């Protein structure tokens, strides 16, 4: 889904503080519309798989309402919360053998903005140029930026000729700009987000929008034109869309999130996905009940389970 006001944004327009605040407020309280085109191709995969799904595990009542509105049978939809809360809880208990701060010692100093960009639509030239421009602006303004590069991100950097620019930025601002490959352990992500050294995540990840609900001191700034987790915006008010239409929008959004009232709003997170240890247990209970009622032999092969 996307806020209706997204249609009014213009690529060459540089927003003021008032523009950013107005657009943010429209996300929290304005009208939204169904936007199926993004993220691509994941959103297309979702629609295709849903057509053959028997059991839908909806995180919240809002998700169930949307599924019913889209034509899925109510009796096949279960409100269960989100199993991401169990994954985070497990990783908090299972400490990594090596600390993320042993690997990237500079992260122990200061308050960092962690950047994670990998969606196909954001790796197109116009959007990716806006994101790199925003990162560059923020580093030059004194923000500490950690740029985690996935395979697709690195490919886009090379394809559009940004490697030299980013390396020069790292050379000029060695204490403010760090580039890393994808972190190999999820436990390192949890450790860093829990550490008090990360104040916000600038991301286009779907799962991070969910996970950041359970990291109380880390803001969620989602670099997309729409979201498949709308409940994180207008139900929990823990997440905000940052449109990647030009560098100024990204720069201004981050500045206002850090020092303006937007950040205060995003920190008042309403945890809507359930409690650790309960969500996965509830899902397994429903699956077992379904198997017992329909026979254990292959009934799941005739329909998918979706969550």
Q: Is 95 found in the same domain as 196? A: yes
**What is the span of the domain harbouring residue 120?**
87-267
Q: Is 231 found in the same domain as 102? A: yes
Q: What pLDDT digit, counting tens, does each position of 19-50 carry?
A: 999 999 999 999 998 876 666 666 677 777 77
Tell me the pTM: 0.90
Residue with tokens 């198997």: 291
Query: Does position 132 have pLDDT exceeding 70, yes or no?
Result: yes
Mean pLDDT of 283-304: 69
Mean pLDDT of 98-117: 97
* pLDDT for position 43: 67
CATH assignment at residue 196: 3.40.50.2000
Query: Does position 188 have pLDDT exceeding 90, yes or no?
Result: yes
Confidence of residue 300 (pLDDT cuts 50, 70, 90): very low
Query: Does position 303 have pLDDT exceeding 80, yes or no?
Result: no
- φ, ψ of residue 219 in degrees (nearest 5): -80, 150
Query: Does position 304 have pLDDT exceeding 50, yes or no?
Result: no
Q: Is 26 found in the same domain as 106? A: no
Rounded to the nearest 10°, the torsion over CA 3, 125, 201, 165 is -150
Q: Is 64 found in the same domain as 166? A: no
Q: Which segments of the chain are extended strands (E)? A: 2-3, 32-33, 53-58, 77-79, 112-116, 144-149, 177-181, 198-203, 219-222, 239-241, 304-306
Which SS3 state, helix, strand or coil, does residue 266 take? helix
Q: Is 128 found in the same domain as 188? A: yes
Q: How much of the chain, in percent, has pLDDT values that exceed 90?
A: 77
Mean pLDDT of 230-248: 94
* pLDDT for position 79: 95
Q: Is 287 found in the same domain as 139? A: no
Q: Is 165 found in the same domain as 37? A: no
Nearest alpha-carbon partner for 114 in 183, 169, 40: 183
Q: Is 141 found in the same domain as 102? A: yes
In angstroms, the CA 5 to CA 228 distance is 17
Mean pLDDT of 215-240: 94
Query: Two tokens at 304?
Result: 């998918």
Q: Is 212 found in the same domain as 129? A: yes
Count of domains observed in the chain: 2
Q: Is 162 found in the same domain as 126? A: yes
Q: Which residue has the higher pLDDT, 55 or 142?
A: 142
Query: Does position 306 have pLDDT exceeding 70, yes or no?
Result: no
The answer to whether 214 and 232 are in contact (CB under 8 A) is no
């Amino acid at each position: 889904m996307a806020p209706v006001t997204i249609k009014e944004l213009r690529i060459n327009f540089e927003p003021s503080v008032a523009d950013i605040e107005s657009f943010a407020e429209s996300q929290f309280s304005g009208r939204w519309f169904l936007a199926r085109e993004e993220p691509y191709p994941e959103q297309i995969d979702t629609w295709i798989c849903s057509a053959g799904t028997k059991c839908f595990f909806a995180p919240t009542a809002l998700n169930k309402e949307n599924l019913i509105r889209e034509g899925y049978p109510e009796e096949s939809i279960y409100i269960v919360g989100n199993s991401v809360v169990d994954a985070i809880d497990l990783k908090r208990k299972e400490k990594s053998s090596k600390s993320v701060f042993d690997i990237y010692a500079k992260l122990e100093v200061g308050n960092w903005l962690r950047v994670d960009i990998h969606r196909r639509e954001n790796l197109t030239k116009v959007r990716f140029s806006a994101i790199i421009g925003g990162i560059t602006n923020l580093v030059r303004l004194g923000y500490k930026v950690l740029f985690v590069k996935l395979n697709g991100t690195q490919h886009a950097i090379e394809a559009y000729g940004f490697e030299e620019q980013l390396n020069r930025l790292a050379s000029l601002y060695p204490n403010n700009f760090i580039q890393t490959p994808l972190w190999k352990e999820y436990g390192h992500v949890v450790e860093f987000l829990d550490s008090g050294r990360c104040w916000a995540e600038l991301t286009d990840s779907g799962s991070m929008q969910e996970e950041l609900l359970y990291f109380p001191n880390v803001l969620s700034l989602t670099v997309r034109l729409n979201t498949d987790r709308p409940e994180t915006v207008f139900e929990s008010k823990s997440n905000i869309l940052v449109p990647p239409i030009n560098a100024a929008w990204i720069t201004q959004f981050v500045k206002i999130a850090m020092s303006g009232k937007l950040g205060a709003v995003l920190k008042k997170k309403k945890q809507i996905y359930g409690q650790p240890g309960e969500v996965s247990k509830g899902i397994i209970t429903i699956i077992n009940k379904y198997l017992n009622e329909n026979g254990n032999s292959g009934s799941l092969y005739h329909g998918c389970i979706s969550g």
